[in-house]
Chains A and B, each alone.
Chain A
């Protein structure tokens, strides 16, 4: 089945540690995105990538980093510079600049 796989589903981190969230898609989509979801705030765009080896900052990129070495993969690193990292993180993909986004199941990060 085609889709987006995010891992891990739940992650706990101590303050000051970096953590990497995995996102893999087999939909052959060019575009991939990372969103952060907090209660009552909707989805906020962290980073996006339209093609391999290229990515752009979204609205809340500070404290995060990404890479796009393969079309299928778009990992997100939450660094220790992110002031409030506890959130639900969602990876998505699309064929292009459309609103038809396909989402993964999400990764819930909790900083202890």
Chain B
């Protein structure tokens, strides 16, 4: 079993839709959870950073962490064509390396 699992997609949605992206993980020591966005042929950029369980909202983006289920989610409201990218979940435990999921490819169709 991989440490972090993520559905690779591709996921295609119409503009304005709510998008749900998810990851599961196996290591209960993970405490920091991140979502990175990567446009084609570019480096990833940090989108959301959360500590432990709970929700965090930033504009159209909401990150959720459920440590009891070892499950994290990223919701995108009112999706835009500019949201078309690959979304990578990532996580780590204190003072340890970051583990990335394989990424989910998202296309938002105008």
Q: Taking the complex as formed, is A98 at the interface, i.e. its CB lies under 8 A from any CB of chain B? A: yes
Interface size class of A (residues with CB under 8 A): 20 to 34
Q: Taking the complex as formed, is A11 at the interface, i.e. its CB lies under 8 A from any CB of chain B? A: no
Docked-complex contact B97 and A100, CB < 8 angstroms: no
Q: Taking the complex as formed, is A84 at the interface, i.e. its CB lies under 8 A from any CB of chain B? A: no
| Given A58-B97, A100-B34, A105-B43: A41 touches B49 (CB 8 Å cut-off) | no
Docked-complex contact B8 and A90, CB < 8 angstroms: no
Q: Taking the complex as formed, is B96 at the interface, i.e. its CB lies under 8 A from any CB of chain A? A: yes
Docked-complex contact B101 and A103, CB < 8 angstroms: no
CB nearest to B31 among chain A residues: A99
Neighbouring A residues of B32 by C-beta, 8 Å = 98-99
Neighbouring B residues of A99 by C-beta, 8 Å = 32-34, 49, 90-92, 98
Docked-complex contact B34 and A103, CB < 8 angstroms: no
Q: Taking the complex as formed, is B60 at the interface, i.e. its CB lies under 8 A from any CB of chain A? A: no
Q: Taking the complex as formed, is B71 at the interface, i.e. its CB lies under 8 A from any CB of chain A? A: no
Chain B positions 88 through 110: 1 when the CB is less than 8 Å from some CB of chain A, otherwise 0: 10111011111011110000000
Given A45-B98, A99-B90, 12 new contacts (CB under 8 A): A4-B43, A40-B8, A42-B100, A42-B101, A97-B94, A99-B33, A99-B34, A99-B91, A100-B34, A100-B46, A104-B43, A108-B41
User: Which residue numbers of A lie inside 8 Å of B, CB to CB?
Assistant: 4, 6, 35, 40-43, 45, 48, 58, 90, 92, 97-106, 108
